[in-house]
Amino acid sequence: MEIENWYRNNFEARLGGRYITSKMILPLLNEYKNKFKISIVGASEKDKNIHLIKIGNGGKTILAWSQMHGNESTTTKAIFDLLKFLNQKDFFQNEIQNFLNTYSLYVIPILNPDGAALYTRENVNGIDLNRDAQKLSQSESRCLRTVFDTLKPSMCLNMHDQRTIYGFDNGMPATVSFLSPAANAARSVTKARMVAMKNIVRMNNCLQKFIPGQVGRYDDSFNSACVGDTFQMEGVPTILFEAGHYKDDYKREKTREFIFYALLTLFDIMGGRQKVDYNDYFAIPENRNNYRDIIIRNAKLASHTSLKDAAIQYVEVLNNGVIIHVPHLDEIGGLEKLFGHLEIDAQGSEILTNTDKTLTYGVKVSDIIGFRA
């Protein structure tokens, strides 16, 4: 049975959209408590439980965490897709048993439960947990560090979302990106970093079958305040996952599928164990900041005498438990080097909106209602 067919019919449909909180995953944790080992390993600054799931009993210990940034939930959905896949008894049983015998996978599904509830990158104190690896000023950071020190993992998976602004020089969007973080300012290819690079090459090889030309490599500038850089610096191979934008997929339901396939590849369930060259990691294109949600080309603006391009970027806003995308004007000018997930040629017409404000940077554009010649 093709894995795509299984996924299409069996993904974890109880989790959807961008807003995923601890309250939403609790019924799933309760359902799995007799199938996987689930424990509480800490609490957030507002005293919300931080859970740890253990899957498998093998000798290779892997530690993964998601929603370190509370508003980055795509990988959390993919993790629960993986749990559902591992728990079913009908398909891929030999591969699953091999995984369970080879790996002990520990997952913190939501490291930042307060930020998840607020739908913010930072925790409730406004601290970016991915810049707190040295200070360990927050309870969530100390929780992750304690789990890391206790488990002594052979690999770590740092799972995030990236914004819709990333793409490549060829005009394709960065739907999934990876990084083997630097272990020092020189960005040396250490032994740990090489292991992470090889595994990224394997996952990239798989994903090219699904999203050719849409897998990227994240910036590897060294920052010891970042968790991935710190763990890599300490000799533990660490992989950064960045779930990005797929065409018309602002809820990231297709992207979660690609993260799921990447995880199956990483754990030898899909594609087997490939022999790869770490140098192929550097052939994966680097992310570029060259995309905006909407670009209106050749528009007439009141503040300009010549035709200009206007870039509009969505701001995600939590509204009664639902994430809505509010368009804001991001940039005006000759935007030839930018691509739009949606591009509109105004053909010299004036942009009409339902606001009386001048169309300038940062203005909220509630709705573009048309064009006037």
How far, CA to CA in Å, does 302 sit from each of 7, 74, 359? 50, 40, 8
Q: What is the mean pLDDT of residues 75-80?
A: 99
Q: What is the mean pLDDT of residues 59-81?
A: 99
Rounded to 10 degrees, the C-alpha dihedral 158/164/166/169 comes to 140
Residue 179's H or E segment, with its range, is strand 176-179
pLDDT above 90 as % of the chain: 87
Band (pLDDT 50/70/90 cuts) for residue 348 is confident
Higher pLDDT, 233 or 350: 233
Q: What is the mean pLDDT of residues 79-96?
A: 96
Tokens encoding 362: 């940062």
Tokens encoding 303: 């503040």
Amino acid identity of residue 3, one-letter, is: I
Cβ proximity of 237 and 192 under 8 Å = yes
- Cα separation, 105 vs 102, in Å, equals 10
Q: Could you tell me how many residues make up the chain?
A: 373
Tokens encoding 132: 């707190």
pLDDT at residue 356 in the model: 45
Residue 265 main-chain phi, psi, to 5 deg: -70, -45
Q: What is the mean pLDDT of residues 1-14?
A: 93
Per-residue pLDDT of 253-308, as tens digits, reads 999 999 999 999 999 999 878 899 999 999 999 999 999 999 999 988 766 778 88
Per-residue pLDDT of 122-159, as tens digits, reads 999 999 999 999 999 999 999 999 999 999 999 999 99
pLDDT at 369 over 50: no
Fold designation for 291-372: Urease, subunit C; domain 1 (2.30.40)
Q: Which residue reads 């997929």 in tokens? A: 249
For the chain, domain boundaries: 3-288, 291-372
pLDDT at residue 357 in the model: 47
Per-residue pLDDT of 17-60, as tens digits, reads 999 999 999 999 999 999 999 999 999 999 999 999 999 999 99
Least confident of 100-114, 147-161, 288-302, 344-358: 344-358
pLDDT at 66 over 50: yes
DSSP state of 332: E
Extract the runs of DSSP E, i.e. beta strands, from the chain: 37-43, 49-55, 60-66, 103-108, 155-161, 166-167, 176-179, 215-217, 238-243, 288-289, 291-299, 308-319, 322-333, 339-345, 350-353, 368-372
pLDDT at 96 over 60: yes
Amino acid identity of residue 56, one-letter, is: G
Residue 56 main-chain phi, psi, to 5 deg: 90, 165
CATH of 3-288, one of 3.40.50.920, 3.40.50.1820, 3.40.630.10, 3.40.50.150: 3.40.630.10
How far, CA to CA in Å, does 263 sit from each of 115, 148, 207, 235? 25, 20, 11, 22
pLDDT at residue 307 in the model: 87
